[in-house]
Amino acid sequence: MSQMQSPVLGPDPALISYVPIVAQIRRLLVVALASGIVYAFFLAASKGYCPGGFDADGGYIDAAGKATTAAPMCVTLTLRPSPIIYAAIAFIVIFAISKVLKKAPDGEAAVRILGRAAAVIGILIPVSIVIAQVWFALIPVTEWSSSGPYAFYSPFPFGSVDMVITPITAP
């Protein structure tokens, strides 16, 4: 009677060399996803200003404190994440993986390319958050006047600012 030998199961030596590359791709994708979430979480802010208000009789007053029949206008600015930053994250990931597929001569070079891409994303997001938040904080919303033109410079492309102008609502 002949004995059947079962094949030895284990990692294929040819595939072992790809493990660090796959691990680095996974790391890059996790960094990209986590960075996108952190960016969305920390890039939310708003501020507003209403020049004027109400007098003791319930009538409207303007920014100078004078009675008026028209409701004073209020401005609200809202800081949101910029889609350009999300596009930049996607571009970095796709560019790095494409470069690995086309130009990496060996596994070490591939790991280095993917690691640098993760580092670029890791630098891009905190820098974008800081620039957008500081820029937004420096927008002089209290200088807004409903009677004249008002413009502000947005922290584009690091963040997106929406401006909404509405009449003041009764207390």
For residue 22, the tally of other CB atoms under 10 A from its CB is 12
Q: Chain centroid to CA 22: how far?
A: 27
What is the side-by-side strand order in the sheet with 53-54?
53-54, 60-61, 67-68
Polymer length of the chain: 171
DSSP 168: P
Distances (CA, A) of 22 to 12, 104, 136: 15, 14, 40
- Provide the residue ranges of all domains of the chain, joining segments of one domain with +: 27-167
Q: Is residue 122 within 8 Å of 93, Cβ to Cβ?
A: no
Q: What is the pLDDT of residue 112?
A: 96
Q: In this structure, what are the phi and psi dihedrals at residue 63, rounded to the nearest 5 degrees?
A: -65, -25
Query: Please, which residues bridge with residue 118 across strands?
Result: none
- Whole-prediction pTM value? 0.81
Classify 95 as helix, strand or coil: helix
Q: What is the pLDDT of residue 83?
A: 95
Q: What is the pLDDT of residue 119?
A: 98
Q: What is the pLDDT of residue 136?
A: 94
Tens place of pLDDT per residue across the chain (171 aa): 556 665 656 666 666 778 899 999 999 999 999 999 999 999 999 999 988 888 888 888 888 888 888 888 888 999 999 999 999 999 999 999 999 999 988 989 999 999 999 999 999 999 999 999 999 999 988 887 766 677 777 778 899 999 898 888 876
Classify 94 as helix, strand or coil: helix
